[in-house]
Amino acid sequence: MFESIIDSNRLFLVAGPCSAESQEQLDETCQALMATGRVDLLRCGVWKPRTRPGGFEGCGEEALKWIAELKRLHGNWRFAIEVVTPRHVELALQYGIDALWIGARTTGNPFLVSELAQALQSNPVPVMVKNPLNADATLWAGAIERLLQAGVCDIAAIHRGFSISSPIQTELRNDPVWRIPIELRSMLPAIPLLCDPSHLTGCSDKIAECSQTALNLDFNGLMVECHIHPEKALTDAQQQLTPEGLSQVLKSLRHRPHTAAAPLELTILRERLNLVDNDLLKLIAQRLDISREIAIVKDANNLTTYQPSQWNSKLQNLLLEAKNIGLKEQFAKDIFDRLHLESIRVQEEQRSEGALGS
């Protein structure tokens, strides 16, 4: 199911309600979605992992019966559901579910992922793996590798954003940290990457913008939550689109085929970037050479390697300068904090080499 989408220029689309609530709700939503002619795979939650107890936790096996019935009635409908335990996998296979996904709360648990992989070993179906709640590309890749090792080869990854830990208010439900899916792609280049703008943004108005960002970053598809009456949804009401809303979003998106050839202008600009990057590397090496000399002087004068007040006042000047030339302060701070840490590391290295030599 997912193998061919990495090289295709088509957007792979998974859509459907957050939860299967009744056979009618599921049927009406899926009919309208399939009528768009754009949906490859229908989604619905059957067992809902909820943050707090007491909410709607899904209809379980009952919902699997509705799906089996709808698949019987509409021969070409394919469904994906979330599985959390090996028992879920067993039931999903029993009811002929076409694909599964592993949710964000499960991906971060290697034992659970191994159990799911084992449950799939004798009868692998396509699996989508959402990112774990914390921004850790290795943990995400690890879950995919566990499935691959068990012989589950038809896999896609889904980026749904990360739990927000910073107290800084953000308008999104989850933090996109776009560098993490980019890192995953470089670790596992053959695994197609989908974006779930619904859970990422938590807001139906922001889905178009988030989806466009994903397409600009070379994602291969989307998983979007849609409900025939979003306002009545039992879960995630604020983020679900109507099927009509989904069509509008799809119309607004600019899909950029990855086979498009780079124009000469872009090649020239990239060359210019390369020259600047090489200069940056040389400057960083020069900076570290000076740090080593500083370490020798500090050692001779019995001074500590880290001098907080000196660093803080220097950093303030640098940040002012950064602002004056139009750089974001936080960006400049991140870079200089990192350079400073490396400077401390080489100074310590220099001091211990000096001590060994004396």
Rounded to whole angstroms, the Cα distance separating 241 from 223 reads 12
Using CA atoms in the order 48, 51, 55, 60, what is the torsion angle rounded to 10 degrees?
20
Helix axes 308-324, 329-357, angle to 10 degrees: 140
Rounded to whole angstroms, the Cα distance separating 159 from 148 reads 19
Query: Please, what is the minimum distance in Å from the beta carbon of residue 193 to ligand PEP?
Result: 15
Label residues 63-90 b or e (16+ Cβ within 10 Å = b): bbebbeebbeeeeebebbbbbbeeebbe
Question: Which of 103, 157, 147 lies closest to 125, judged by CA?
Answer: 147
Q: Which does 21 bind (CB under 5 to 8 A by kind): ligand PEP, Mn ion, none?
A: none
Query: Please, what is the minimum distance in Å from the beta carbon of residue 138 to Mn ion?
Result: 26
Q: Which does 103 bind (CB under 5 to 8 A by kind): ligand PEP, Mn ion, none?
A: ligand PEP
Size of the site for ligand PEP (CB under 6 A): 8
Beta bridge partners of 159: 195
Which of positions 13-42 make contact with ligand PEP (CB under 6 A)?
Answer: 18
Choosing from 17, 58, 103, 230, the residue that interacts with ligand PEP (CB under 6 A) is: 103
Q: Count of alpha carbons within 13 Å of 271, Cβ hemisphere only?
A: 7
Query: Please, what is the minimum distance in Å from the beta carbon of residue 240 to Mn ion?
Result: 8
**x/- track of binding to ligand PEP for residues 182-221 (CB under 6 A):** -----------------x----------------------
Which of positions 210-239 make contact with Mn ion (CB under 5 A)?
Answer: 236
Residue with smaller CB distance to ligand PEP, 88 or 343 = 88
Q: Which does 181 bind (CB under 5 to 8 A by kind): Mn ion, ligand PEP, none?
A: none
Of the candidate spans 12-20, 21-29, 105-113, 295-303, the one that interacts with Mn ion by CB under 5 A turns out to be 12-20
58 binds ligand PEP (CB under 6 A): no
Instruction: Give the number of other CB atoms < 10 A from CB of residue 56.
Output: 14
Choosing from 16, 45, 192, 221, the residue that interacts with ligand PEP (CB under 6 A) is: 45
Query: Please, what is the minimum distance in Å from the beta carbon of residue 351 to ligand PEP?
Result: 48
Residue with smaller CB distance to ligand PEP, 200 or 332 = 200
Q: Which does 126 bind (CB under 5 to 8 A by kind): Mn ion, ligand PEP, none?
A: none
Residue with smaller CB distance to ligand PEP, 21 or 82 = 82
Of the candidate spans 17-25, 77-85, 147-155, 206-214, the one that interacts with Mn ion by CB under 5 A turns out to be 17-25
Helix axes 137-149, 179-187, angle to 10 degrees: 30
Query: Please, what is the minimum distance in Å from the beta carbon of residue 275 to Mn ion?
Result: 47
Rounded to whole angstroms, the Cα distance separating 119 from 158 reads 21
**Sequence-separated contacts (24+) of 279-285 with Cβ below 8 Å:** 284/339
Rounded to whole angstroms, the Cα distance separating 221 from 118 reads 27
Beta bridge partners of 195: 159, 222
Tokens 């308008």 correspond to what residue? 171
Residue type, 208: A
188 binds Mn ion (CB under 5 A): no
Choosing from 18, 44, 91, 97, the residue that interacts with Mn ion (CB under 5 A) is: 18
Of the candidate spans 15-23, 85-93, 129-137, 203-211, the one that interacts with Mn ion by CB under 5 A turns out to be 15-23
CB 45 within 8 Å of CB 20: yes
Which of positions 139-168 make contact with ligand PEP (CB under 6 A)?
Answer: 160
Query: Please, what is the minimum distance in Å from the beta carbon of residue 36 to ligand PEP?
Result: 20
Label residues 165-193 b or e (16+ Cβ within 10 Å = b): eeeeeeebbbbbbeebbebbbeebeebbb
Binding site for ligand PEP (CB under 6 A): 18, 45, 82, 103-104, 130, 160, 199
Catalog residues that contact Mn ion under the rule CB under 5 A.
Answer: 18, 236
